Structure 1
């Protein structure tokens, strides 16, 4: 087992990893930018190393500084959390070159699944259902036009190196294709330094449902059932739940089997998520695979009583998994609490938290790194907390979330708490009748 793990991340996920490491008797090293000097992950780690100024390009994305921090503290493994370098093949390979275990996918696996066009062709070879469309990168606009006709409108253009909704365009008719092609490539080039595009059939009334998988170094994988992540704004998830209100036992078995097949086909090692689009007829299609821990992993942990961070560490240390699949015994909902103003188009609202009271009680979990007096820096993602509730039924979980949100007091900055409170009363959410288009018609009340 590892003696010391460096956490190459910040905020609540860094704190989350530190907690499990302490429970396993493993020493921890926090890295931090100058903007995060007062963050809780710095305080609670056994050691902390400043790796640069506030911009992430000069700190949390600076591979040489992170490797140097691991070497000077004698860390024998690095946990990358999510975001930043968690799905960076070069960083995974660099850790290997320096004899430091990367607690995540190998560089080869990240390359295989991180590029969406590559991932799709790999999944077709594995026999996993994929959305109809191009089998790889589209070479030019002529091919794009031809494919759109073959696939049938509406279609979705996507950046091969994309993420977070960048470089994506829905096209409903042929006259709009050229403008969409040009603007998507331009946006992709600016965001990722790569303008490769691929095309998929646009799935109407889709649900975004993902399957949590864990694979070991012996070629075995298992699944831990689904999470429904369909409530999104600009392709960014706002809340997640498990089990999905749209799920049936038969569909869960089919999707779980497909996700395990995907993981075992590539010899996947570690915790990962296979993401699917599911249409209104419950046909499901592979969308992408995230080769890291997900923001929303706590709801899975709550319904199957399983520490995913612990499992990541064990698998990285060469421990085999049990191989059995896990099914939800309870219902869990997560609300991402962001420092944003939901009454002002979710505008980011960094600043100083003057008052903080977090909710508690049976079945309430808070994953956060903030406290009263904490200054939220403007340099990073606006998520400041995750509020997770767990109950026997979905109805009980919604009522528990309402109560917890009413108890949650943050003053000094605007947050998305009022949005989540209104969401919990929305008839379409309460009935479980929502898709990825839900937010297009949602209006905040004053």
Structure 2
């Protein structure tokens, strides 16, 4: 990340280094072995691991607080409701939202994007309108908009990228015209780690009166997010990529836009009144939270936010950048290995290909050494097509990873090459 070295002060460096053993002890799964090899977990972009504090919070809820929320006056329901809404306030402060009602709990980033597509897109986008996406998008921020475009007769326009995996922002700005109605773009590429200049891109869209959705699934675990500073209209991310449980995420939306949207799902708790003649919808955020939500997961999400903030997002960003620099240097030194999308401004994600060896074979052999990486197209097939590769191997780092683990990865890649050289 550009200029992030300035954050890695001697005191921050010493705090992280001296506390690494204790910090890793917070994650019990890091002690397991794969066969007879210690686990080296480098698949954090897919899902990070969960600290004991979050696990304990989930167990505590299930043992002492479990009940349905918003629907009773008894003690447990009241307690569960308080904990659920406390988690919403934590998320509000975590992203700098103006109001807690601007935080909608969903099942994750994909669900959040689909909520916006159905709630906003199906209501306001019409035949002949245009939607701008980028070549760096995850399938979750492509397919819903393709579905909408097919239904409405709208057109999708795509921002290209260069050989380093950076968006061509000048080309983006040329895509706007009188028919542009919506922009969807990732804060960080899940396949390459590229950090996009979203604040500039949001400002450009707003100059044309166009709302912007940010897929923040890969950004929220690695950097501070301030939705008011960004001035984005929607921002989505998931808990399971940031030390929290699976099955829960949020959609941030500006209140006036959420109020203008139609509900995505119908059912209990998203209504004010129901008759067979007419249904009146509840206020936001509840208008978009139909049915019994993942209460335990939401509370666990709040605990994960507490944990991350205790460490500090600046410290996390700085340390992960140091890991990224070290890993990039070491991998570049391996003959026959190429980093795909090696732009200077990125989070701790490295996609690479090994000459003559399919990524699935790379991942399978690395797994025999206890090394967990992700292989495939990473739900980003347009990126693979842009770089003319079928798939890559992806190593993604978190603040509990170490340089020693990177060295194990590098040795593992060299071992894979030796196997195929025989």
Structures share fold, TM-score greater than 0.5: no
TM-score of the superposed pair, with normalisation by structure 2: 0.29
Larger relative contact order, structure 1 or 2 (CA cutoff 8 Å, min sep 6): 2
Structure with the larger strand share:
1
Structure with the larger helix share:
2
TM-score of the superposed pair, with normalisation by structure 1: 0.28
